[in-house]
């Protein structure tokens, strides 16, 4: 038999492996693994090997779910860890890059480790270990783990979509994020405790992330600088790698990724580790590559997020970074009163989130007035520049409408030319040190007949909109640095309703995946 395996090594080169004689499917895969570089999780099927399937991985996540081992009924939870023997005949097998995806089918799973090859043949499973120096992979024994997650957590309940459920879950997810971490006016972060001294001595903090996680870090930047006195720089993971930007031993690099498997972020982590920086991970996924490979870190504990567009993970990420800033800055006397005010603000954040969720029907109505717009601009500044970026990202990724978040301070340097009576513009003008500047931005936009939607603090409607000509969204006022957590919620609701009204898929937006495990 002759087997020809053809695969792309880079976009330029094609690689051939030619086998002659009798080869098994696992030998073919073994040879492919020998040639591959970088991170991957792959599943192979071939008409030459009917009833066989092989999966393998390196770097990326791959989960094998196993349902109904012989004699066991599905749905029953296993108290002991069962051994998955080479000849065991489980009834159903699932492969997934994310635990959340298999929980509704089974709670028994195996996290495939790097260089392991799972070979399924005629219903039986064997696990082999790839070794670069050996021609044949050796067989290994692995035990199944039991997932400690309720199926309820991944059910939609009374909601139509996961994104909707997750938006409305935020009072709860914010509570679980803070649970056990705020005590007697102090912040306790077990995962960071041993490293606080090193972080305080670092020359700068570098936040590294992609997409929503980047935006969350951006929202945190101002208060991290304020409470720690350490300069903070922002890096989009892929751009840091493209530039090979400088990272030093004296840096604290903070990696933010809700899945903990984001390929770009993990590559940036390797790069920062090579350069000797202290690496801190902030992720929603216990046991993820990010949490294993960083020196220390904080889990955001927001619960499983299934909608592709991140919502509750975003707000929890900001809260985690607020707690991180409080912990790092806890040795500074001068900011003591400020820290106490923020901690008390954190306590009332979940109930404020419940308040702002009452805007749901108002946001639906606003969405119905925007369905035919081609574009939506969002202006923010200070703490809420990140809110503008994140709000626009939500509208882009789920409602498939062009949207851009912009610095309000940059308006006169270009974007003002776009303003007319048709283009809807959201201006975030909640109370903080930038409020009067935002008031004058509103005046300038109105004098160009801009079609404005103004987000302001409760009771400020007439201050931001004296002529009464604009639509106003009033949100509860919280500590200024926590305001982004509240302000994003109406924009999440808006993006959600806009998507539903425009008839697009909310939980599976076109072309996007939940964990971006490719570069």
Ligand X SMILES: *[C@@H]1O[C@H](CO)[C@@H](O)[C@H](O)[C@H]1NC(C)=O
Q: What residues between 332 and 391 interact with ligand X by CB under 6 A?
A: 345, 348, 351-352, 355
Q: What residues between 298 and 337 interact with ligand X by CB under 6 A?
A: none
Output the six-digit token pair for 241.
């790698």
Output the six-digit token pair for 112.
């495939």
3-state secondary structure 225-280: HHHHCCCEEEEEHHHHHHHCCCCCCCEEEEEEECCCCCHHHHHHHHHHHHCCCEEE
Mapping DSSP to helix (H, G, I), strand (E, B) and coil, where does residue 418 land?
helix
| Binding flags for ligand X, 420-459, as an x/- string (CB under 6 A) | ----------------------------------------
Q: Which is nearer to ligand X, 403 or 457 (CB)?
A: 457
Tokens 């790097």 — which residue?
114
| Binding flags for ligand X, 477-496, as an x/- string (CB under 6 A) | -xx-----------------
Q: Which is nearer to ligand X, 92 or 340 (CB)?
A: 340
Q: Concatenated DSSP letters for 179-226?
A: TTTEETTEE--TTTGGGHHHHHH-SEEEEEE-HHHHHHHHHHHHHHHH
Q: Which is nearer to ligand X, 226 or 505 (CB)?
A: 226
Q: How far is the CB of 352 from ligand X (least distance, A)?
A: 4
Q: Which is nearer to ligand X, 72 or 355 (CB)?
A: 355
Q: How far is the CB of 390 from ligand X (least distance, A)?
A: 21
Q: How far is the CB of 403 from ligand X (least distance, A)?
A: 28
Among 307, 380, 476, 509, binds ligand X (CB under 6 A): 476
Q: How far is the CB of 275 from ligand X (least distance, A)?
A: 40
Segment interacting with ligand X (CB under 6 A) among 81-89, 106-114, 453-461, 472-480: 472-480
Q: Report the distance separating Cα 342 and Cα 326, nearest Å.
A: 9
Return the number of other C-beta atoms located less than 10 Å from residue 331's C-beta. Answer: 11
Q: Which is nearer to ligand X, 112 or 479 (CB)?
A: 479
Q: Report the distance separating Cα 337 and Cα 343, nearest Å.
A: 10
Q: Which is nearer to ligand X, 45 or 338 (CB)?
A: 338
Q: How far is the CB of 355 from ligand X (least distance, A)?
A: 5
Return the number of other C-beta atoms located less than 10 Å from residue 8's C-beta. Answer: 9
CB of 267 closer than 8 Å to CB of 293: no
Q: How far is the CB of 343 from ligand X (least distance, A)?
A: 10
Q: What b/e readout covers 124-152, taking b as 16+ CB neighbours within 10 angstroms?
A: ebbbbebeeeeeebeeeebebbebeeeee
Q: Which is nearer to ligand X, 350 or 450 (CB)?
A: 350
Separation of CA 315 from chain center: 11
CB of 81 closer than 8 Å to CB of 143: yes
Size of site (CB under 6 A) for ligand X: 8
Q: For binding to ligand X (CB under 6 A), which residues are involved?
A: 345, 348, 351-352, 355, 476, 478-479
């Amino acid at each position: 038999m002759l087997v020809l395996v053809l695969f792309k090594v880079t976009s330029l080169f094609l690689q051939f492996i030619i086998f002659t004689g009798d080869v098994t499917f696992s030998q073919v895969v073994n040879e492919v693994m020998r040639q591959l570089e970088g991170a991957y999780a792959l599943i192979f099927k071939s008409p030459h090997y009917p009833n066989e399937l092989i999966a393998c991985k390196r770097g990326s996540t791959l989960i094998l779910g196993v349902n109904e081992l012989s004699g066991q009924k599905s749905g029953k939870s296993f108290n002991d860890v069962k051994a998955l023997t080479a000849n065991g005949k489980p009834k159903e097998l699932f492969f997934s890059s994310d635990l959340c995806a298999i929980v509704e089918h089974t709670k028994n799973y195996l996290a495939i480790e790097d260089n392991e090859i799972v070979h399924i043949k005629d219903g039986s499973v064997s696990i082999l270990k790839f070794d670069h120096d050996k021609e044949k992979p050796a067989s290994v024994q692995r035990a199944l783990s039991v997932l400690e997650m309720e199926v309820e957590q991944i059910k939609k309940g009374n909601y139509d979509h996961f994104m909707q459920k997750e938006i409305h879950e935020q009072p709860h997810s914010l509570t679980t994020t803070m649970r056990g971490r705020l005590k007697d006016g102090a912040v306790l972060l077990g995962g960071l405790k041993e490293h606080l001294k090193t972080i305080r001595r670092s020359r700068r903090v570098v936040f590294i992330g992609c997409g929503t996680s980047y935006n969350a870090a951006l929202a945190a930047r101002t208060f991290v600088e304020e409470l720690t006195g350490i300069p903070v720089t922002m890096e989009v993971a892929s751009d840091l790698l493209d530039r090979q930007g400088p990272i030093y031993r004296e840096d604290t690099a903070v990696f933010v990724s809700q899945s903990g498997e984001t390929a770009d972020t993990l590559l940036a982590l390797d790069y920062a580790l090579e350069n000797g920086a202290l690496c801190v991970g902030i992720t929603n996924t216990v046991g993820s590559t990010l949490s294993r490979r960083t020196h220390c870190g904080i889990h955001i504990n927001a619960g499983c997020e299934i909608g592709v567009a991140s919502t509750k993970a975003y707000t929890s990420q900001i809260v985690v970074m607020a707690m991180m800033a409080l912990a790092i800055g806890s040795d500074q006397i001068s900011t003591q009163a400020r820290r106490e005010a923020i901690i008390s603000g954190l306590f009332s954040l979940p109930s404020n989130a419940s308040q702002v969720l009452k805007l749901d029907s108002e946001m639906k109505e606003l969405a119905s007035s925007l369905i035919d717009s081609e574009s939506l601009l969002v202006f923010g500044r200070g703490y809420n520049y990140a809110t503008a970026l994140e709000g626009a990202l939500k509208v882009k990724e789920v409602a498939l409408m062009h949207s851009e978040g912009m610095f309000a301070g940059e308006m006169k340097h270009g974007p003002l030319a776009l303003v007319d009576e048709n283009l809807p513009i959201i201006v975030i003008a909640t109370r903080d040190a930038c409020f009067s500047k935002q008031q004058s931005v509103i005046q300038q936009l109105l004098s160009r007949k801009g079609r404005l939607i103004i987000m302001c603090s409760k009771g400020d409607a007439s201050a931001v909109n004296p002529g009464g000509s604009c639509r106003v969204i009033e949100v509860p006022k919280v500590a200024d640095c926590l305001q982004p957590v509240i302000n994003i919620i109406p924009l999440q609701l808006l993006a959600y309703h806009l998507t539903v009204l425009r008839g697009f898929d909310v939980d599976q937006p076109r072309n996007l995946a939940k964990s971006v495990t490719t570069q």
